Structure 1
Amino acid sequence: MSNSLPRIICLISLLYSTSVVAQNAQIALTERMIAVTNEFLESLTRLQNSKGVYDFDHEERLNWHFIPKERNGVVLRSMSDEQRAVAERLLRTFFSASGYVKAEAIRNLETVLAEIEVNGRFERDPELYYITVFGEPSMETNWGLRYEGHHLAFNWTFVRGLGVASTPQFFGSNPADVRSGARFGTRVLAAEEELGRDLLRSMSASQRDQAVIEQDVPRDIITGSQKQVSPFSDSGIPYSQLDSRQQQILVNLIDEAASVQAQPVYQQRMALIQEQGMDAVRFTWIGSSDRGEPHYYRVQGPGFLIEYDNTQNGANHAHLVWRDFAGDFGRDLLRAHYDAVAASAPEHGH
């Protein structure tokens, strides 16, 4: 295995084309993530461990969703105060500061829903969020971590300490705009909504003709909770046909969605998008440009997809997902690793 490491490092470097400084930052972050995840695992009871720890190759690792339902993992409300403190440190390590604030705001919208949906069909509880670990966290293993509950679904995959995959990534907000009660005026995904609308409204008639698809607004993100997604057919307006101000709005929109990740992961994402070429990134809109009316947009590049919708509950229920066509659940990193191992294995005669 040791003979394969230089080749693996080379493949990962080519895959992400990161600088030495960025790679060092990525390694330092991974070491912190490993340390805090192991601290979390050590805090678990035997029962919690049985619910929240799986082998890396277990099918549960791909079993993600964003709807309210019972999940497999260590649920927040089962944790002691000491375990909650470790879990908070873990989440603050995996998210950026702004990402952690956004995740907490989404989790706390469950109290708003509990007030709105008296005797509703779902249990609304901000403690019904789960942490699940796959494999044994170390720099020498493949392992993963999932943080998930209603309208939160984050998946991180680590391959031999040499790369971090951070998709699928999902945020949702219901209500999208809190219109009563103690949290009146809260709009957790306001920036994601307004940047998309600002971009559309800035367009000329001919640009809108390219960007807008005239069809019924999707009820939800189109890719749902699929385990793997493929690019949509070429539609929408390409970055190259936007003026400089419009291009900056589109970059800001992508940045808003990426920046919830810890800084080295965020930088890796943005660098990869630039490397693959911004000119090939397209923006597509479906629905009304008026606030409060159903609408949907997507941003698609050669390697990634962002989908946003606000259509349910009178267009007051928003979703945003980030997918990586080759890299969801670390598929590209794992493929590079396995190819490197196969290439470095000695040939045997028969």
Structure 2
Amino acid sequence: MGNMQTFTAVNLNTNGDSPGGANTATVAAAAKAFLATLDATQLTKINLAFTDNQSRQTWSNYPATTVARKGVALKDLSETQRTAVMAMLKVALSADGYQQVLDIQKSDDYLNTLGGQGADGFGSLVDYYVAVYGTPSATDPFQIQFGGHHLARNLTYNGDKVSQTPQFVGSEPTSFEVGGKTVAPVEPESSTMFAMVAALSADEKAAAKLTSGTYDDLMMGPTHDDGEFPASEGLVVSTLTAAQKKLVTAALAAYIDDLADDAAAKALAKYTSELDSTRIAWANNTGPTDESSYIRIDGPSVWIEFINTRSMSTPNIHYHSVYRDKNNDYGSTDPS
């Protein structure tokens, strides 16, 4: 299969508007430990220049067989090297964020067991790639990039500052059984986004409905790095009750809390300080199992989209979702 997406570099600076709180020294140490396990050939593929903006922006929700990734696939690393990759992610993310990485990988293993169109060739080692941009440091900028089918973790550090966006999470199917246990990789995001909309009155729901068209996928997914976000639409959060505002905050937290705890708390505080100027919106449908249900949070800094899309491998819908920071994607303010 050919490369289904064309990535065009956007010039990125290092002036991202981050509230700080990053555990950068710990993450840098784990990243250095991973890089130390690589031979010279692997290093040239994995440790790329921080100024290579096009590579830093090369991520996708498609499987790696459809859209080529930078770095090296987990399948081409030794068990020791893969352990070092996961140790690096574990210190960069919260416990929930790290578990979500594992669960999304499990969904690819599950898809692979189904076989047939849309399922062959998936897997937790085949579809997931890792790259490190720049020299990991407690003071100088560097980025960790990890992702594959339905996952993109772009973690950019610069001293105390950190960006976890662009962030893509998805799940096909939405839930499945592994060893007698139900795995639902995107349940925190899906449940809080749908709860936020379900709490609206009929008038509020009408005011929140997008009028600019229908949506069959995300507006600001991969390749959309120019900072040109759609015009703000929907219901202003300042008009909501305190209980409804808590549901908006819970939806935000489902995404932001994937980051290591201190930095996540500071980022969430930043977004909630802008809550009254934030809008929520929906299009198509609002049911958790309805096809094409689309929900959006659009703030001065934060942008989150969630959609139910048709599955190629199962008879049901599956999830796509993206979280971006308008002033801190890739640790940069340039796109906006």
Task: Give the TM-score range, shorter chain.
Answer: 0.7 to 0.9
SS of corresponding position for 1:265: helix
Residue 287 of structure 2, aligned match among 286, 290, 298 = 290
SS of corresponding position for 1:311: strand
> Is the alpha carbon distance of 1:181 and 1:61 closer, same or farther for their aligned partners in structure 2, counting shifts above 3 Å?
closer
Aligned to 2:92: 94
Residue 122 of structure 2, aligned match among 121, 124, 136 = 124
> Is the alpha carbon distance of 1:97 and 1:121 closer, same or farther for their aligned partners in structure 2, counting shifts above 3 Å?
closer
Aligned to 2:80: 82
Letter in 1 for 2:237: Y
**CA–CA distance in 2 between the matches of 1:315 and 1:210?**
29
Letter in 2 for 1:44: L
SS of corresponding position for 1:283: strand
TM-score normalized with structure 2 length: 0.85
**CA–CA distance in 1 between the matches of 2:41 and 2:180?**
36
Q: How many residues align?
A: 311
Unaligned segments of structure 2, at least 5 residues? 1-14
The answer to whether 1:247 aligns with 2:245 is yes
The answer to whether 1:47 aligns with 2:41 is yes
Letter in 1 for 2:166: P
Aligned to 1:141: 140
Aligned to 1:308: 306
Contact 2:197 2:286 in 1 (8 A): yes
Letter in 2 for 1:320: S
> Is the alpha carbon distance of 1:120 and 1:240 closer, same or farther for their aligned partners in structure 2, counting shifts above 3 Å?
closer
Residue 191 of structure 1, aligned match among 188, 191, 201 = 188
Q: Determine which structure has the larger helix proportion and give its number.
A: 1
Letter in 1 for 2:92: F
SS of corresponding position for 2:154: strand
Letter in 1 for 2:296: R
**CA–CA distance in 1 between the matches of 2:328 and 2:51?**
16
Contact 1:168 1:324 in 2 (8 A): yes
SS of corresponding position for 1:266: helix
**CA–CA distance in 2 between the matches of 1:85 and 1:181?**
22
Shift of 1:216: 6.1
CA deviation vs aligned residue, 1:105-135 (integer Å, no higher than 9, x gap): 0011112111223365752011021110111
CA deviation vs aligned residue, 1:260-298 (integer Å, no higher than 9, x gap): 1111221221122134x2101111011223332120101
Aligned to 1:344: none
Contact 2:309 2:320 in 1 (8 A): no
**CA–CA distance in 2 between the matches of 1:119 and 1:209?**
39
List aligned pairs for 1:229-268, cutoff 5 A.
Answer: 229-268=227-266
**CA–CA distance in 2 between the matches of 1:236 and 1:52?**
42
> Is the alpha carbon distance of 1:181 and 1:230 closer, same or farther for their aligned partners in structure 2, counting shifts above 3 Å?
same
The answer to whether 1:156 aligns with 2:150 is no
Aligned to 1:65: 60
Residue 107 of structure 1, aligned match among 105, 108, 127 = 105
Contact 1:258 1:266 in 2 (8 A): yes
SS of corresponding position for 1:82: helix
Aligned to 2:7: none
Shift of 1:194: 2.3
**CA–CA distance in 2 between the matches of 1:39 and 1:185?**
34
Aligned to 1:227: 225
Task: Pick which of 310-319 and 260-269 moved more.
Answer: 310-319
CA deviation vs aligned residue, 1:84-109 (integer Å, no higher than 9, x gap): 22122111011100111111000111
**CA–CA distance in 2 between the matches of 1:279 and 1:92?**
34
Task: Pick which of 257-266 and 121-130 moved more.
Answer: 121-130
Aligned to 2:321: 320
**CA–CA distance in 1 between the matches of 2:266 and 2:173?**
32
Task: Pick which of 251-260 and 195-204 moved more.
Answer: 195-204
> Is the alpha carbon distance of 1:315 and 1:323 closer, same or farther for their aligned partners in structure 2, counting shifts above 3 Å?
farther
**CA–CA distance in 1 between the matches of 2:160 and 2:241?**
38
**CA–CA distance in 1 between the matches of 2:289 and 2:106?**
22
Contact 2:165 2:325 in 1 (8 A): yes
> Is the alpha carbon distance of 1:119 and 1:234 closer, same or farther for their aligned partners in structure 2, counting shifts above 3 Å?
closer
SS of corresponding position for 1:221: coil
CA RMSD of aligned residues (A): 2.3
Task: Pick which of 31-40 and 62-71 moved more.
Answer: 62-71
Shift of 1:148: 1.2
Shift of 1:49: 1.1
Letter in 2 for 1:126: S
SS of corresponding position for 1:251: helix
TM-score normalized with structure 1 length: 0.82
Letter in 2 for 1:237: L
List aligned pairs for 1:166-181, cutoff 5 A.
Answer: 166-178=164-176
